[in-house]
Amino acid sequence: MSTVVSMLRGINVGGQKRLHMETLREIYKNLGFSNIRTYVQSGNVVFESTEQEETKLTKRIETSIKQACGFPVEVFIRQAPELKQILAGNPFLNDRNEDPSKLHVTFLYQSPPETAWSKLIPPGDTIDEFAPGEQAIYLFCPNGYGKTKLSNSFFERKLGMPVTTRNWNTVNALAELAIDR
């Protein structure tokens, strides 16, 4: 049994794709997962599963949510050790000691081809910065994520895949929930 973190993209944002966390926990329970905990209302779930294959987990959860709720949702799976690596590898903290409230992590749906990274040229008029990580992109947004041009849409267009972003506090909280099991 391993501890898994799943992050759903685009639910409960701007009145779109409404999904109550109680309903989400019930979906996960019906899939046979245990020790299910949600964190905030944006679709963060920490749970235990005997299934080790992330692709299979992702597809099972996505299919169940679509069947139960009637809309598709991309699900991003990370194991507890992967979140720990993400926390340890943030260059904006390790190399520069930036304010954690200005930091975010954009999670990638899958590993992009090496050539994709060359397409990630930030708009010339932004002070925001990013650094690639392992299936994640670290963001430093001094004026806040709400004003950045390095949004999910930017990365999705450039990489050709879904992404989802969480603030640094949320990533820490999810890792703590996953690691403290």
Q: Give the tens place of pLDDT for each residue, 89-101.
A: 999 998 888 999 9
Q: Where in the chain does DSSP place strands (E)? A: 2-8, 34-39, 44-49, 75-79, 103-108, 129-132, 136-140, 163-167
* Structure token pair of residue 23: 């309903």
The dihedral of CA 129, 156, 179, 181: what is its sign?
A: positive
Q: Which residues form the domain of 151? A: 82-179
| CATH number reported for the structural domain that contains residue 37 in this entry | 3.30.70.1280
Q: CA 55 → CA 26, 29, 59, 109, 130, distances in Å? A: 21, 19, 6, 10, 26
pLDDT at 15 over 70: no
pLDDT band at 138 (very low <50, low <70, confident <90, very high): very high
- The mean pLDDT value for 134-149 works out to 93
- The mean pLDDT value for 15-25 works out to 86
pLDDT at 181 over 80: no
Give me the percent of the chain exceeding a pLDDT of 90: 73
User: Is the same domain home to 48 and 96?
Assistant: no
pLDDT band at 124 (very low <50, low <70, confident <90, very high): confident
CA distance between the termini of the chain: 11
User: Is the same domain home to 89 and 168?
Assistant: yes
Interatomic CA distance for residues 46 and 135, integer angstroms: 19
Q: 12, 44, 79 — which closes off a domain?
A: 79
User: Is the same domain home to 59 and 128?
Assistant: no
Burial pattern 53-68, b for ≥16 Cβ within 10 A else e, equals ebeebbebbbebbeee
pLDDT digits (tens, 9 = 90+) for 27-69: 999 999 999 999 988 889 999 999 888 999 999 999 999 999 9
- Domains contained in the chain, number: 2
| Residues paired with 131 in a beta bridge | 138
User: Is the same domain home to 54 and 92?
Assistant: no
Average pLDDT, rounded, for the chain: 92
- The mean pLDDT value for 74-84 works out to 94
Q: 79, 102, 135 — which closes off a domain?
A: 79
Closest residue by Cα to residue 150 from 131, 134, 174, 171: 131
Predicted pLDDT at 116: 85
Q: 79, 110, 143 — which closes off a domain?
A: 79
Which amino acid type is present at position 151?
Answer: S
Interatomic CA distance for residues 80 and 15, integer angstroms: 30
Which amino acid type is present at position 160?
Answer: G
pLDDT digits (tens, 9 = 90+) for 153-175: 999 999 999 999 999 999 999 99
User: Is the same domain home to 115 and 161?
Assistant: yes
User: Is the same domain home to 101 and 39?
Assistant: no
User: Is the same domain home to 58 and 86?
Assistant: no
User: Is the same domain home to 98 and 71?
Assistant: no
Which amino acid type is present at position 135?
Answer: Q
* Structure token pair of residue 32: 């046979």
